[in-house]
Chain A
Amino acid sequence: MADVRLEGITKRFGSLTVIPDLHLTVPDGSFTVLVGPSGCGKSTLLRIISGLENPSSGRIAIGGKDVTKTEPSQRGISMVFQSYALYPHMTVAQNIDFGLRLAKTPTVEREARVAEAARILALDDYLDRKPAQLSGGQRQRVAIGRSIVRKPEVFLFDEPLSNLDAALRTQMRVELAQLHQSIDATMIYVTHDQVEAMTLADRIVVMNKGRIEQVGAPMDLYDRPETVFVAGFIGSPKMNFVKGAAIGHEEAETVGFRPEHVTVSDGGEGFEAHTKVVETLGADTIAYVEADRLGELTVRLPGHIRLKAGETLRLAPQDEYLHFFDQNGQRMEVSR
């Protein structure tokens, strides 16, 4: 087990700078999720940690040791790929075993470790199969098994669930969380899906255009987003943004409030809105509405409310849940 420290990492592809000067410490034993839209540099960062890419400048330390120039296989890391990258011509057992063989691990120990990984991941019955004969979830487990047996100090995951269907994804998410609890290693996980980030992480790193927007625990990001970008990226449905002036907060450039922090008011305060589309999800009702001067908004209302498109509502954002941002998109405190 080890922490990962990135100091002054930059990455350029030709004249294109993908990551300008990035600093990040991933604490020992944490489950850290790098999240951001595609092209934000999160996968590149993961590949730099793994050693598949070299940084243009900067240093990487794993467990206090500088590994910037170390071969990937010597870094004490393992990686699960989006495509799983299972070796198609090898059986499940050979896939899991391959790295150990290359490391010249003694046979007895290899067998023991493969058996243990198979047990943890419930792969015992599939050890002699080829990857092509496995289902998506089983392939995913083999990929994880290949990671586990090497007993790495740091696990790297590159969007490992994005090739699975929705049901399986939920299930694998639970399994990954359990895995982290049982082996207690440092895990760095890349995804573009903020739901995955919120559910898996104990620390989230939100990235945008090669920079870190905010680092924090999932609920910190939800409660106190430091930038407009984070505010818009974390939480689903997305936060609503309006001009500060439009709702009486001239001091702020932008004011944000989450769809779930809007109440239907009986009169007086708030604003009129026309519902355009209504999605009834059972527990919740999501309404897409249009309000004068505010434009299109999304609100999340209790499931028992009966709404139809075309109705007019009076809506009021809850005052204590307003988020204020200045013209640079940075969070600002406003006295109310």
Chain B
Amino acid sequence: MASLDAARSSEPLSLRLRRGLGNGRVTAVLILLPPALILFTLFVILPLSESGYYAFFNWNGYGSPTDYVGVENFERIVGHSIFQTAVGNTLKIVLISLFIQMPLALVLALLIYRKTPTNAVFRLIFFVPYILAEVAAGLIWSFVFDGNYGVSASIAAAIGSEPYFLLADRDWAFVAVMTVIVWKYFGFHMMIYIAALQGVPEDLIEAARIEGASRTQIVRYVQVPQIKPALIVSAFFAIIGALQVFDIIIPLTNGGPSNQTHTIVTYLYTFGLTRLNIGFGSAVGVILFIAAVTVAVFYQRFFMKRGAVA
């Protein structure tokens, strides 16, 4: 053993170093891990912590924050009627997602999950909106809803009624927004279900059929229970997604008319960033963060037994 060590230390330093670098676990950890840690800390964790700090200041983003205001920002936000509308809108999106979008996606998935050429075409069509950028989707639909030029204008002209501006209607604008959201995202949920349905063993379904189950009974008692994990995950995406809606709103309504169609993020953007109320906006960010973490933790606790995403 001693002789071996001696032999090794008589090697030139560069060679020893190279061997260390070649085989070393430590070296591997020190080379491969830090980039991720640095990037993540600098651009995720640090900004997030700063949100929590700035939220207690009245600050326009220049110099350093000095005007400590305590929880005043939070009080103003929670008392702000537009913020309350935004939260309400977010909840509406959640409800629409759970009770219209997901059932629609499930029905479609059940209709086309089998691998046939026609089904493949429908699958493709239904998925296209999802790959479009939200902004493009919003812009396309703002054309559709445009009472002067768009599809609704043509329809109005065809039935001989006055031009109607859906997106300018305080009561109906958000319905229009939600239509676009369903249009954009149902294909995503459908694809999750299709993947899950294709994973249900065919002999389970055949066994049920032999036992005399009807088509709806098979869906009800075999297929839906089997894809429950997929349903749970897709509901999670729907809820987390609802908290993040932003891109679609900007081209459609930009939060209007009279601030009726804000979501939490458009609220943050409009009242925090565009007015450089960094402290105020950060406080909105903190609220959003708490909401997202609550959903994630709650969800993990109650629905996700095995470590699915988040």
By a beta-carbon cutoff of 8 Å, the part of chain A in contact with chain B is 65-71, 73
Contact = CB atoms under 8 A, between A and B. Distances in A.
- Most A Cβ at <10 Å: residue of B3, B4, B19: B4
A120 B204 CA distance: 52
B23 A66 contact: no
12 contacts: A65-B3, A65-B4, A66-B1, A66-B4, A67-B4, A68-B1, A69-B1, A69-B4, A70-B4, A71-B19, A71-B23, A73-B23
A65 B3 CA distance: 9
Q: What's the interface size class on B, roughly?
A: under 10
A31 B19 CA distance: 32
B262 to A, nearest CB: 52
Interface of B: 1, 3-4, 19, 23
Contacts of B3: 65
Contacts of B4: 65-67, 69-70
A73 B4 CA distance: 15
B309 to A, nearest CB: 29
B295 to A, nearest CB: 38
In order of increasing CB-CB distance, the 10 nearest A-B pairs are A66-B1, A71-B23, A65-B4, A66-B4, A70-B4, A68-B1, A69-B1, A73-B23, A71-B19, A67-B4
Give chain A's interface secondary structure class: loop
A330 B23 CA distance: 46
Contacts of A68: 1
Nearest to A65: B4
Contacts of B19: 71
Nearest to A73: B23
A73 B3 CA distance: 18
A67 B19 CA distance: 17
A70 B19 CA distance: 12
Contacts of B23: 71, 73
B260 to A, nearest CB: 58
Given A65-B3, A68-B1, A73-B23, 9 more contacts: A65-B4, A66-B1, A66-B4, A67-B4, A69-B1, A69-B4, A70-B4, A71-B19, A71-B23
Contacts of A69: 1, 4
A65 B6 CA distance: 13
A65 B23 CA distance: 21
A71 B1 CA distance: 13
Of B1, B3, B23, which is in contact with the most chain A CB atoms at under 10 Å from its CB? B1
A71 B8 CA distance: 12
A258 B19 CA distance: 55
Contacts of A66: 1, 4
A71 B3 CA distance: 16
Contacts of A65: 3-4
A67 B4 CA distance: 8
B151 to A, nearest CB: 52
B74 to A, nearest CB: 49
Nearest to A59: B1
Contacts of A71: 19, 23
Nearest to B3: A65
Contacts of A67: 4
A71 B4 CA distance: 12
A67 B7 CA distance: 13
A70 B23 CA distance: 12
Nearest to B19: A71
Nearest to A102: B22
A70 B3 CA distance: 12
A65 B4 CA distance: 8
A219 to B, nearest CB: 38
Contacts of B1: 66, 68-69
B11 to A, nearest CB: 12
B163 to A, nearest CB: 63
A69 to B, nearest CB: 7
A69 B1 CA distance: 8
A136 to B, nearest CB: 29
Contacts of A73: 23
A73 B221 CA distance: 57
B90 to A, nearest CB: 48
Contacts of A70: 4
A68 B5 CA distance: 12
Nearest to A67: B4
A202 B284 CA distance: 77
B93 to A, nearest CB: 46
A69 B4 CA distance: 10
A71 B23 CA distance: 8
A66 B19 CA distance: 19
A68 B19 CA distance: 18
A67 B1 CA distance: 7
B8 to A, nearest CB: 9
A65 B1 CA distance: 7
A109 B1 CA distance: 31
A66 B1 CA distance: 5
Nearest to A69: B1
A66 B7 CA distance: 13
A69 B7 CA distance: 14
A70 B7 CA distance: 12
A73 B24 CA distance: 13
A214 B3 CA distance: 34
A113 B85 CA distance: 77
A76 to B, nearest CB: 12
A73 B22 CA distance: 11
Nearest to B1: A66
B26 to A, nearest CB: 14
A68 B4 CA distance: 11
A67 B23 CA distance: 16
